[in-house]
A and B are shown apart, each in its own frame.
Chain A
Amino acid sequence: MSEVKTKNKFADMIRSFGLPRLIIAGFLLLLFIAAPFTGVNLGTQITNTINRFSWNAVLVLAMVPMVHSGCGLNFGLPLGIISGLLGATISMEMGFSGPVSFIMAALIATPFALIFGSGYGTLLNKIKGGEMMIATYVGFSAVSVMCIMWLLLPYHSPNMVWGMAGKGLRTTISLEGYYDKALANFLQIRLGSLVIPTGSLLFFALLAFLMWAFLHTKTGTAMTAVGSNPTFARAAGINVDKIRMLSVVMSTWLAAIGILVYEQGFGFVQLYNAPFTMALPAVSAILIGGATVNKASITNVIIGTFLFQGIVTMTPTVMNAIIRMDMSEVIRIIVSNGMILYALTRKSEVTKR
């Protein structure tokens, strides 16, 4: 469609890249250029950006399968996050420590992710077309159930429960002695103020590669087919519901692993209301990276996470240095939600069912 009128290849490129993305990328570039002049240490800033990239990338990657199978953006990410949190807390309760606790957390989180994911997938198969809104509220409901559960479940580890009452998990739990920086410290590279968490990046690269490889298997291509044209896929003999279910379970599992990676970088487990706010940044990150409501690639994940986290880390310091006002929070809200809005209103992407 776009080739018809555009003579200019450059204009075509811009169009395919999307104006909002260009603006965001330009803004980030501007921040990087402005940073040295404002006395901000560029090395620290880049380190922060890379660090935050390594925390969040897997959560953003979790968007990919569901977008591919046509389930839309996974606003139900908190469901997967909860599986991860269950894994984390149970692993700590069972007394694992050090990097082993990370592996155990991932192992324990897996069955939860599979169970929650398949329930969630069954639900989403019943309501094709209305996935995104319902996903949002499934996520919220799950988080609020777990708010009750964190208080009621029989956790006893003194590192996790409220000291006074001796029961009920704390809102934030320090991971010191557990898997704090378990991945980040693996093969860490230090170059002056630049610190690269190689392990986290490698872990993400591994998952991203697996995802890429999966999308090129027979099941993977079937998933893409289901997403782009379900009627055609059905005619080709693909079990649409089964593929969608698989994508939802994958998304949920990746979210569970993603939150564990996030925690190991951040150093804390955040419970109760924290998962509420985690879906939107991941959603907008992948959209900033060039994904649409029904198309997403690994490149989108990488570019998007980098741009989004770059803005999140750079704006507070640079803006503060320039205008003595910390407007970063407001900018982040407007940019991230504006990006989601932009994606939702693109006419060409409204899937026909």
Chain B
Amino acid sequence: MKTKKFNARIWACRIGAVLLLLAIAAVMLVIGRGHTVYFDNKTLETESGTYEAIRKITVNVGGERVAKLGAKERGMATTIGQSITFELVIQREKNGDEETVEYTLKLPYSMDGIIVNLPALLEGQPEEVYLSEFIPAPEPVTEEDEELPGEDEMDMVGDI
């Protein structure tokens, strides 16, 4: 038997490789977090004041129009990463002038779905006011028994 000698260089390489992978994983966790952002053009009433819905807002993300919102409407966009940059084209009155504003918001990591209240955002309110978590409606509890797996599903009908 060969005596196993502690080879410092090999171990350094191994630990380095593991650390590198961990680092990449950490980076992926940061840059890959997916969010669904909901843009609300709704009147928001809070203790600090009331923010009236705006007649028409167009939301552009990355140069693409994701929503065209009248009052009381909600639009949606998906995004990957820690922040979202979007452009709002606002028309306060019919046939009035359009103004364009660009925002970059940091998205909280723990939320999957995020509601951004646009009127409050446009008023320059702090994050606590305009941002809230989107909680999906609990799905109706159905008594459907999902068919659980058997030993070896030999049905090979399907796609590969």
Contacts and interface: CB of A to CB of B under 8 A. Distances in A.
A273 B148 contact: no
A193 interface: no
B8 interface: no
A280 B152 CA distance: 10
A188 interface: no
A332 interface: yes
A277 B154 contact: yes
Interface string A268-309: 000001001100100000000000000000000000000000
B151 A332 contact: yes
A276 B148 contact: no
A22 B23 CA distance: 48
Contacts of A332: 151
Interface residues on A, range: under 10
B154 A276 contact: yes
Interface in B111-125: none
Contacts of A344: none
Nearest to A332: B151
A329 interface: yes
Consensus secondary structure, chain B interface: loop
Contacts of A115: none
Nearest to A144: B156
B154 A329 contact: no
Which of B149, B154, B155: most chain A Cβ within 10 A?
B154
Interface in A160-211: none
A333 interface: yes
Nearest to B152: A277
B151 A277 contact: yes
A273 B151 contact: no
A332 B152 CA distance: 12
B142 to A, nearest CB: 19
B143 to A, nearest CB: 16
B126 interface: no
Nearest to B155: A273
A277 B150 CA distance: 10
Nearest to B148: A329
Nearest to B154: A276
B150 A329 contact: yes
A31 B149 CA distance: 24
A280 B149 CA distance: 17
Shortest 3 CB-CB distances between A and B: which pairs?
Answer: A276-B154, A273-B154, A333-B151
12 contacts: A273-B155, A276-B152, A276-B154, A277-B150, A277-B151, A277-B154, A280-B151, A280-B152, A329-B148, A329-B150, A329-B151, A333-B151
Given A276-B152, A277-B154, A329-B148, 8 more contacts: A273-B155, A276-B154, A277-B150, A277-B152, A280-B151, A329-B149, A329-B151, A333-B151
